[in-house]
Copies of this chain bind each other. A is one copy, B any other.
Amino acid sequence: MSTSKKLPLNSILQGDCIELMNSLPEKSVDMIFADPPYNMQLSGELRRPDDSHVDAVDDHWDQFESFAVYDAFTEEWLAAAQRVLKDDGTLWVIGSYHNIFRVGAKLQDLGFWILNDVIWRKTNPMPNFRGTRFTNAHETLIWCSKDRNAKGMTFNYDALKVMNDDIQMRSDWLLPICSGGERLKVDGEKAHTTQKPEALLYRILTAATNQGDVVLDPFFGSGTTGAVARKLGRNYIGLEREEKYIKVAKERIRKVQPLSPENLEVTTSKRQEPRVPFGSVVERGLLSAGQVLFDSRKRYRARVRADGSLVASDISGSIHKVGARLQGASSCNGWTFWHFDAEGQSVSIDVLRQQVRAEMN
C-alpha cells in the first residue's frame, strides 16, 4: 500500500468514480458520503392537475438497462469505497425505494456493517398528483462501518443531542428539500436535478466527522458535500464525471465562508407542535367507528366512520367540513365543535387530541 501518495484534498477530480477511487491510497479517508443514481424507472410524462408539466429526473446518468447492470455498478463502487475507507471510517448512502434496497443488500454482502438507517422526512415533498399512492415524503440513508468488527467510528452523540434540544437524536430527520436561494441555477434552470439540501449534509458531517477529517463524495454533482465540508472545517474530495457540474460546484464552494473553529457550534432545530389528524384518534381506538358526536348545544349530531370521516344525514367528510356544512358556515374547527358522551358527561373531542399529543412527546 502506498499511503505515501498525497491525497488531492479540497479538490474535484473529473472521471469515473470507480477508477478514481481505486487510484487513491487505500484506508485514507474518514468518511464517504454517496448519493448514487437512483435508477428511477419512469414511464410516461406526468402533469399536475393544473396541466403544468412535471420536470422529471430523466438524466442519462440515471438510466440503467436492468437491475443486474445496476447491481454490478453498485458492487463496483461500494468495493472501491470500502478499499479507500480507513478502518474506523464510515459510509453514508442516500437513496429512495427505487434503489436503496439493492444498495443496502449489496453493502451487507460486501461486509459493511449497518449502524443505522436514517429517514430524511421532507417538510415539503412533491405531492402525488394522481391520487394513486402515498405522498413520497422521505428518502432513506444508510450509515455503516467498514466491517462488522470495526471500532472507533466517529459519532458526536452530544453535539447531536444539543442540536436536538437535549433529546437524543432519532433516526428520523425532518428537513426541507433544497429550494429558494440555495438551489443553484444556470441560465434560470436548475443546475442539477437532484441537489441535496445543505442542512442534510450539515447534520451528517456534524454527527460522523471531526474537524480536519477527509470526506469523500464519489457522486459529487453540484457539490453540496464540498460546500458544507468547507463551512465546517472538514476536507473534501469530490469525484464527478460531468464537466458542467464540476464548474458549478467549484464556483459554489469558492463562495463558502468557513466557520471559525470557535463558531462551529450547532444551531438548534425548531420543534413544531405536531398536527394531529382526527383519523388517528379513531385509528388508536380513542373513539370508535359508530360513535355519535354532537355540538355543545346538541343541535347537530354526526356519526363517526372507520376512516375518521363523519356522517350526518346526507353529508359526509372531515370533522371540520361536516361541522361547517351543518351550520351553513364556510369553516369550522371540528376539534372544539364536536363532543362525545363519556359516562353521561359531554366531553370535547379536543381532549382526545391532547391525549394523542401527549403520547407523541
A42: interface (CB < 8 Å): no
Smallest beta-carbon distance A344→chain B, Å: 22
> Which segment of A171-179, A213-221, A237-245 sits at the interface?
A171-179
Residues A140 and B117 in contact in the complex (CB < 8 Å), given A168-B135, A305-B263: yes
Residues A160 and B307 in contact in the complex (CB < 8 Å), given A116-B133, A203-B283: yes
A47: interface (CB < 8 Å): yes
A interface, size bucket? 35 or more
CB contact between A308 and one of B123, B140, B142, B163 (< 8 Å): that residue? B163
The answer to whether B101 touches A97, judged by C-beta atoms less than 8 angstroms apart, is no
The answer to whether A174 touches B307, judged by C-beta atoms less than 8 angstroms apart, is no
A260: interface (CB < 8 Å): yes
Q: How many copies does the complex hold?
A: 2
The answer to whether B135 touches A169, judged by C-beta atoms less than 8 angstroms apart, is yes
A186: interface (CB < 8 Å): no
A111: interface (CB < 8 Å): yes
In angstroms, Cα B161 to Cα A135, docked, is 11
Measured CB to CB, the residues of A under 8 A from B are 44, 47, 51, 63-64, 67, 96-98, 100-106, 108-109, 111, 114-119, 121, 123-125, 127-128, 131-138, 140, 142-143, 148, 155-160, 162-172, 174-176, 198-199, 202-203, 206-207, 232, 259-260, 262-267, 269, 274-275, 277-280, 282-285, 288-290, 303-309, 316-318, 320-321, 329-331, 359-360
